[in-house]
Structure formats: C-alpha cells, structure tokens
Amino acid sequence: MRRHRLILPLLLVAAAAASAAARAPFACAPGGPATSLPFCRQTLPLRARARDLVARLTRAEKVRLLVNNAAGVPRLGVAGYEWWSEALHGVSDTGPGVRFGGAFPGATAFPQVIGTAASFNASLWELIGRAVSDEGRAMYNGGQAGLTFWSPNVNIFRDPRWGRGQETPGEDPAVSGRYAAAYVRGLQQPYGGGGHHGGHTRLKTAACCKHFTAYDLDSWSGTDRFHFNAVVTPQDLEDTFNVPFKSCVVDGRAASVMCSYNQVNGVPTCADESFLRGTIRGKWQLEGYIVSDCDSVDVFYSDQHYTKTHEDAVAATLRAGLDLDCGPFLAQYTEGAVAQRKVSDADIDAAVTNTVIVQMRLGMYDGDLATQPFGHLGPQHVCTRAHQDLALEAARQSVVLLKNDAAALPLSPGTHRTVAVVGPHAEATVAMIGNYAGKPCGYTTPLQGIGRYVKTVLHQAGCTDVACQGGNQPIAAAVDAARRADATVVLVGLDQKVEAEGLDRTSLLLPGRQVELVSAVAKAAKGPVILVLMSGGPVDIAFAQNDRKIAGILWAGYPGQAGGQAIADVIFGHHNPGGKLPVTWYPQDYLQKAPMTNMAMRANPAKGYPGRTYRFYTGPTIHPFGHGLSYTKFTHTLAHAPAQLSVRLTGHHAATASSLNATTHLGRAAADVRVSHARCEGLSIPVHVDVKNVGDRDGAHTVLVYASPPAAAAAAHGAPARQLVAFEKVHVPAGGVARVKMGLDVCNGLSVADRDGVRRIPVGEHSLTIGELTHSVTLGVEQLGSHRDVAPYDILPIAAMHDELHSNPASSVRAQASELRCS
C-alpha cells in the first residue's frame, strides 16, 4: 500500500529556525513615513485613527481600497493587502490570499463542515476554529496568508441537491446559528476592547459569515446563481434563512458578512439597503465590514441588468451599505460615479473607514509584528501534533451510524482477520477533504486505517472512479474479494465531480454502477458487509437499508485528512459513534415534488408541494434529521423543568388586553405577545436531563430538545410542528449517569414568526420532547396592571385572555384587524 503523506517535519524544523514574523510591518513601521501620525498612535480610539488615515487619502487612493486586492499607499507607509483568504475547515488556498509552499507546505485539514456539524458538539466547533486561527495567523506572519478569512458558510441546507450544502452546518437554523457563533469565536479569539480602543475588541483573525441571504442554488435545470431571483416570504427569512447570520453577528460578533449573488424578491442582496444597512448593520449592529461575493456587483449589472450604467451599480451598492467589492468593479467605476454625482466622497469614506477599522483591530497598523500578541506564531505552529489529533477526533465525532443489524458492528480484529476493502473511496485522499480545502499535513486513507487493525486486507476498487460508469468496471474482482474475506467494507459515495460549487445534483442516488457494486458484493460476501458512505449531501440508500446482507451502514461526510483512520476506529470499536444527521435524507421521488427554485419552507398540500427540512416536511424519509445510532444505549430522565413560566412585558406594553394578539384559525383561538414587547433578558426555561448509559460501552450522546408550540398558534401562524431549541453533547461511561443542564431561550427558541416576519411568543402550553420524554410548559403573561406584587409564575391563562379580549369590543376589533401591531 502506498502512503499518501506530505513530508513536513524537516521542512518545519528548518523553517522554525527562522524568525516567525518574516512579514514586514503592514503599516506604521518603526522609522517609517507615518510613525508620528495619529493613525499610528495606539493610544487613540480605533475609529479616530481610521478617520485620520482616510482623511489623508486622495479619492483615487481610497477607491483602490474598495476592492479585495487593495493597493498600498507608499507615501504613508501602508502596504497593499489581499482581503480574500479562506478557512472553511482549515486554511485554504482557494482564495488568492493564501499560498502554500516553502515554510508552509500544508495546513491541518479538518472534516468538511457538514460532517463536523454531525458531531453536535459546539465545544469542538470552537476548538477547530482556534486551531485554524493559530495556523492562519502563523501563515500571515510568514507572509503566506491574510488575516481576513471569508468563512464560515452558514447558509441553510434547504434542498438536498445543493452542491455547496457540504460547506454548511445543515438544515436546522438553531444548529447553524450555534455553529456560526462557535466557529467565529474560535477563529477571531477577541481580546482587549474598551479604553483607548474606542470600544472595539482586538482580533486574532477576522471571520466572515456568508452568503447573505437565501442562497442555496448554484446551477439547476437552466437556472444559475448569477441569475436567480429567490422569492422568499418575510416569515421564511425571519425563522429560517436569516437565523444563522443573526447568530453570527449578534452572538459570534463576526467582523464581516458577505452578500450573495442572487436576488431576493427582485433586489440583488448586495444592493439591498434594507438588508445591509437596515438588518446587518442596523438591527444586528455589525462592527465590521460587508463584502460582496466575488464579482457580485458586476453580476447584478452585467448579468441581472439591475442598473442601466456601471455608475448606477456603484451607487446602488455603496448606498446600500457595501464596504468592499471582491472584484475590480468599484475600483474601475467609483470615480466616475462621483463625477456624475451618484455617490459622494462621504459614501466612499464610510466604506473605507469600516474596512480600515477591522485591519486596525487585527493589529495591522501597530508596526512590528514581533511585538504583537501573536507575533511569535510561525511554521512550527502549523500541522502540530495537537492539531492533527484534533482533526482525527473531529473526524471520529463526525461519523454517523445509520444501521447496525444484530449488532454486527463493531468488527473484531480477532474474528475478522481477513477484511475485503472495496469501492471507489477505499483509497480516498483528496475526496476526503471536500471543497474549499487547502493542502493537508498528510492523509490516512480508509485502506490504510483498516490495515492497521487486521492481519490481511484484500483490496479491490470495484469502480475505476466515483462516477463508476461504463462496462469496464472491475466489479467482479471486488465480488471475488468479498467471497474470500471474513468481513467486507464497501466505501462508496460522492465527490466534487458530483456535488460542488457550481454543480447541483439531479439525483439522490449513488452515481453510475455503485449500487450494482454494493449489491453484488453483499450478495457474494461470506461475512458481514459494512457500507461506508462519503458525501456532503444526503443519498437515497433505501436499497441498502433493505438489504439483509448489509449489516452496518456508516456515513462519514468528507472526513478530512484523518478520515481513513477515523472510519477504521469506528468500524473496529476503538471509537463508539455518536454523530447524528444534520440534514434530512429524502427518497429520490422527493425531487419530483420540490423544484429547487421554490424557496418556500412550508408545505402546500393543495399544490402537492411537500415542504422542506424536518421542521415542515412530514413525508417519508430514508433517514430523519437527528438520526444516529450508538454501540451502547442511552435513556433520559427529566430531573428538573418548570411546568409554567411568566413572560413580563417592557415599559408601556404591560399586560393589558391591547398587548395581546388574538387570532382565530379554523375555529381555534390563539394568543401571543410580540418578542419586541417582552423582557427577554434572562427569560429562560431551565431544563435538566439525566442521561444514563445502560449499555456496556462508554459513549457520547447528544441530548436534543425539540419544542412544539400550542396547536392554535401553530395553525394560526404556520409554525413548525417541532423545532430544535437546545442540544448538548455529553460523554457517559458504561453504566454511568450524567446530568445535562440547559436553558431554553424563550424569546428565541419558543417564539414563532408570523406571516409578516414578526416574532411572537405563543401563550399557552408548549410541548418539549427529549428522546422518549415529553414535558409541557405553560407560558403566560405576568399581569402588571394591578397594584399588588406579582409572583414569578403568576399566569394569565390563554382562555382568560381570549375572554378578556372579547369582553372589550374595541380591543377585540383592534386586535383582530391589526394582529396587535401596537407601537
């Protein structure tokens, strides 16, 4: 067997002998032309420093700072800078800001995001971010990377065909939002803040959440992302598409957001002032910059014909709130737009100020790198043993056990001494790292990983490649190997030639003759057959689920550089799998009912539209969201949770009849309160769950808490039948018990979006589901109108509120007419 491994150690030892801070100062170098100027004075607030710099620039110099390959300003000692670097699941050379070679031949390649999401382990997500941040900063110090990494991708994996779904944390808004915040915190590692920084925290690197918003179609049935107008309801924007971005900015404090290629409701996202200025910078208070997806400005001018002239496009995007153009468009046409009075110098100044402040937060205007907090990082901090061990652990936690008939897994090296390893992914290397990847520190293939456990490996590819097309496929050789082996592992799935950026799938089935290979091997095998799937998106494997000869099925995502070892560790029981699917696995015929261009999340039975994701789709599945087995068994016991909770209202929104929204749908009365009227701070439901491992193996378990709103509210507002509101990963030894304490955020988790996109908290009985447990919590509204003290759990019952509304005709008419849109 060939070993696919980069030879790094000698290179790293040699590089470490050199200075870690090989890069010359970006600006404000000691003895440089601007050292004494205010923008170089670290004692001043960052905004004052940025404004001082911008005021010294000519219009032509400022315009050249509006694009990703920003020009330097030599007369002020400011170097040029490439903004576009990538770090989706490891430092990547997908963008021009990163260059491998020399002292940095590679970087740690963690599992693709869809796999890491399957771990449901927020601590792991942040640890990966921190490791990537170390390596990114080290490469910046060595002059081979930037500090602005345009990651993560937190778009909702809405449609199973999407080629870029692999880059995302999956279909659930809560999971995607928590992933976004955790990974961003890990990447940025903010420190300092306040004092002379003017309230801005300093950053180790700067993250960017992309692609805002409702972007999840690349190329399908004649429609591509450059021309697609996503027609999206305010409700779907509020409770699905925008949720991860809000979490990214509000909770993760990301330094940047990227707008997307597509239009939303007829307006390019990069020219939508209500999105960029209104939502991202206004409501969510972004402290950073907004960047276009690459050439997006030119796309909405040249391809979408949104504006008549180049200068109109400049005006549309700058006035909407864009700060940086990935592409040359703004550098080419902004001065003309100023000359035509379509934009002002103040518009340019505002954009440049936003980007410069981020650079200052990164220490780029603080002179010598060696004197800064991360100036010591160098080649010896890339591909460290700790980082590679973390990549292996992440890959293990990403594996999902889909099927395990008769406890066929784990295999025993003592019993299964000869193992056939077949399939096009048996020797996978590049396929394991997915897209937006860099050059790994090294690979362990599945063949190598399995070979470390058994005496004899019989290897046959079975297919010449993943496409597995044509009559010359070596299926017979794979079948022969299975006949001679004590056990057979079949490794099949997808790769970047099947699903990728710019390439959406047309089928959920395995490519080419892979099904034929799997079935033939299973039929001939004398021992247990284990099917291992590598893919980003879901696959219809009903044939394998129903094949009694296939005893076990694992999904490994794209498991990164250590994927082969992780797969073997799970197969032979060194690691007990605990991953769960972050997406619904649909049957093939789902595709006929759900055009990719239909952005509606909610089902429309009258039109035969099935809805999307577990929150709104109730049809048959191959595997549901959250599915994942273990080699042991866990039970849940509810240790603590209140049965009722009061919602207090803010200020003049004290609980009166006019503060409650009453609607009637199909004869059911529903009452709710606007989230904007509730006192949300600290409004949380404590839920404590005891998890017991009743099996004979140690294992990790994810506690998933789903909430269902009162039936009347669900019917009135089209709320999800159930929604994941909390999750925690816990390790429990065999026979042991672990208590998991969670707080359910009422305003975020238990609210629903109405059809206008307004968040409301339904009053009444909410149902919580935790594994085999159910628990009801009744939400009421605290009555503040009386002159007596109110107990914390003083409840105004839903029936009483409904009666009160109808006993006051003026309030009732007003509420029904406006659904309580009180100011």
Active site residue ranges = 293
DSSP state of 237: I
796/650 Cα distance (integer angstroms) = 16
Surface-to-core class of residue 36, CB atoms within 10 Å of its CB (0-12 exposed, 13-18 middle, 19+ buried) = exposed
Q: Checking DSSP bridges between strand 256-259 and strand 209-212, what pairing results, if any? A: parallel
Whether the Cβ atoms of residue 369 and residue 141 lie closer than 8 Å to each other: yes
196/44 Cα distance (integer angstroms) = 5
699 membership: H or E segment, kind and range: strand 699-708
DSSP state of 548: T
Encoded tokens for 746: 């009422």
Query: What single string gives the DSSP state of each residue in 266-324?
Result: TEEGGG-HIIIIIIIIIIS---SEEEESTTHHHIIIIIS--SSSHHHHHHHHHHHT--B
List all residues 6 or more positions away from 765 whose beta carbon is below 8 Å from its beta carbon: 710, 776, 777, 778
What secondary structure, in 3-state letters, does 771-811 show? CCEEEEEEEEECCCCCCCCCCCCCCCCHHHHHHHHHHCHHH
DSSP state of 704: E
Order of strands, sheet of 263-264, starting from the edge strand that comes earlier in the sequence: 229-230, 263-264, 267-268
Q: Distance from CA of residue 630 to its chain's centroid?
A: 25
Q: For the chain, give the number of residues.
A: 823
Whether the Cβ atoms of residue 233 and residue 264 lie closer than 8 Å to each other: no
211/269 Cα distance (integer angstroms) = 9
Whether the Cβ atoms of residue 754 and residue 819 lie closer than 8 Å to each other: yes
Encoded tokens for 625: 């969201």
| Residue 701 dihedral angles phi and psi, to the nearest 5° | -135, 140
DSSP state of 261: S
CA geometry: angle at 387 spanning 251 and 436, to 5°? 65
Q: Which residue has the tokens 């944390």?
A: 169
Please name the amino acid found at residue 593. K
Which residue, among 733, 727, 575, 771, has the nearest Cα to 123 in the 3D structure? 727
Order of strands, sheet of 699-708, starting from the edge strand that comes earlier in the sequence: 644-647, 773-781, 764-770, 699-708, 723-732
The three-class DSSP label of residue 635 is strand
Q: Distance from CA of residue 8 to its chain's centroid?
A: 31
47/681 Cα distance (integer angstroms) = 30
537/514 Cα distance (integer angstroms) = 16
556/538 Cα distance (integer angstroms) = 11
Whether the Cβ atoms of residue 138 and residue 599 lie closer than 8 Å to each other: no
Which residue, among 123, 130, 121, has the nearest Cα to 87 in the 3D structure? 130
503/498 Cα distance (integer angstroms) = 7
What secondary structure, in 3-state letters, does 479-508 show? HHHHHHCCEEEEEEECCCCCCECCECCCCC
202/519 Cα distance (integer angstroms) = 56
Encoded tokens for 469: 């097309």
Q: Checking DSSP bridges between strand 661-665 and strand 699-708, what pairing results, if any? A: unpaired
Encoded tokens for 101: 């070679």
Whether the Cβ atoms of residue 753 and residue 239 lie closer than 8 Å to each other: yes
